[in-house]
Amino acid sequence: MLNLDETIEAIKLCKHIPESDVEEICSKAIELLIEEANIQHVDTPVTICGDIHGQLHDLITLFKTGGECPQTQYLFLGDFVDRGFYSLESFLLLLTLKVRYPDKITLIRGNHESRQITTVYGFYDECVRKYGSVNVWRYCCEVFDYLSLGAIVGGKGGVFSIHGGLSPDIDTIDQIRVLDRKQEVPHEGGMCDLLWSDPEYVPGWAISPRGAGFLFGENEVNRFLQVNDISLIARAHQLVMEGYKEMFNQGLVTVWSAPNYCYRCGNIASVLTIDDNLNRNYKVFKAASQDITAIPSKKPPVDYFI
């Protein structure tokens, strides 16, 4: 029988988690996620977090900054994996917390929670390096397909939370509720845009330099806020050197939670707490101080060929 509390502490110490335990954690997480809606309702107070990108030690700092789970309720806006050296541990820590405290942590999908992206940006290679097969990566990818696409914090007049941004195909939150989310992230369409789009000071919709999603401006944000009776769009997806950035008369905020992104960008990170009156409180934090020699090289010699 899996001891979740012991597993959480082992993951924080970067100890090797048996493959069978990873499979069980992923399976239990799917049992919970399958019951969740495309747009999850999240009560206040809640602390909203942006991209993590495999920076486990900084994720641990995040919990010290915002408050440990379950005393603090959390909403993570995706991009748990890739780029950092501890994608597996970061994702497993969040999944294990989800299984241990289902009502205290909400995980939504980012554009990196996809098979195609993780084979390019590090997560696939990390899983194979640490376990000698693709099994663990496959278990995690199956979880990706069940993650919600977004959340509403605080009900009417509250905060619409999404990884990327808006879509020209989607005017109302109800349209998101009926999407089929249990699939690999498509290359175009509403689901793709929610995970890939970015706000920009542009008139109307514009082509995104990312090659997926769109750029959208203030008019699109104001229209979406009004039509859907919400006061704020909270999203992640873009590096912000100051940790967070409000735009469009404070109608949208980007929250970024990976300090010193890629171990070299020098940025600070933040989390956003929404209280019962929908007031915003940002907490910023710096990268965890860790011995640089403890960071593994991207591709150490493989030793699992017998």
pLDDT of residue 231: 98
Strand order through the sheet with 269-274: 105-107, 74-76, 46-49, 269-274, 280-285
Residue 303 has pLDDT above 80, yes or no: no
Give the CA distances from residue 56 to residues 52, 62, 87, 142, 272, in Å, rounded to whole numbers and listed in that order: 8, 10, 7, 21, 19
pLDDT of residue 109: 98
Residue 302's CB is within 10 A of a number of other CB atoms, namely: 9
Residue 2: inside a domain, yes or no?
A: no
pLDDT of residue 305: 31
The CATH number of the domain where 254 resides is what?
Answer: 3.60.21.10
Summarize the confidence of residues 91-100 as an average pLDDT.
Answer: 98
pLDDT per position as a tens digit, 189-201: 999 999 999 999 9
pLDDT per position as a tens digit, 247-269: 999 999 999 999 999 999 999 99
**Which has the higher per-residue pLDDT, 1 or 280?**
280
Distance in angstroms (rounded) separating the CA atoms of residues 187 and 164: 14
Residue 304: inside a domain, yes or no?
A: no
How much of the chain exceeds pLDDT 70, in percent?
A: 94
Residue 229 has pLDDT above 50, yes or no: yes
Residue 294: inside a domain, yes or no?
A: no
What does the block give as tokens for 122? 């590090």
Residue 42: inside a domain, yes or no?
A: yes
Within its chain, how far is the Cα of 94 from the centroid?
10
pLDDT per position as a tens digit, 213-226: 999 999 999 999 99
Q: Cβ neighbours of residue 256 under 8 Å, at least 6 residues apart?
A: 50, 51, 236, 238, 239, 240, 243, 244, 267, 269, 270
pLDDT per position as a tens digit, 5-16: 999 999 999 999
Residue 77: which of 190, 173, 159 has the closest Cα? 159
Q: What is the mean pLDDT of the chain?
A: 95
Please, which pLDDT band fits residue 57 given cuts at 50, 70 and 90?
Answer: very high
pLDDT per position as a tens digit, 106-142: 999 999 999 999 999 999 999 999 999 999 999 999 9
Three-state SS across the chain? CCCHHHHHHHHHCCCCCCHHHHHHHHHHHHHHHCCCCCEEEECCCEEEECECCCCHHHHHHHHHHHCCCCCCCEEECCCCCCCCCCHHHHHHHHHHHHHHCCCCEEEECCCCCCHHHHHHHCHHHHHHHHHCCCHHHHHHHHHHCCCECEEEECCCCCEEEECCCCCCCCCCHHHHHCCCCCCCCCCCCHHHHHHHCEECCCCCEEECCCCCCEEECHHHHHHHHHHHCCCEEEECCCCCCCCEEEECCCCEEEEECCCCHHHCCCCCEEEEEECCCCCEEEEEECCCCCCHHHCCCCCCCCCCCC
Residue 305: inside a domain, yes or no?
A: no
Domain limits for position 254: 18-289
Residue 48: which of 69, 74, 80 has the closest Cα? 74
Residue 97: inside a domain, yes or no?
A: yes
Model confidence, pTM? 0.95
pLDDT of residue 300: 39
Active site residues: 112
pLDDT of residue 1: 84
Residue 5: inside a domain, yes or no?
A: no
Residue 128: inside a domain, yes or no?
A: yes
Please give the tally of structural domains in the chain: 1
Residue 161 has pLDDT above 90, yes or no: yes
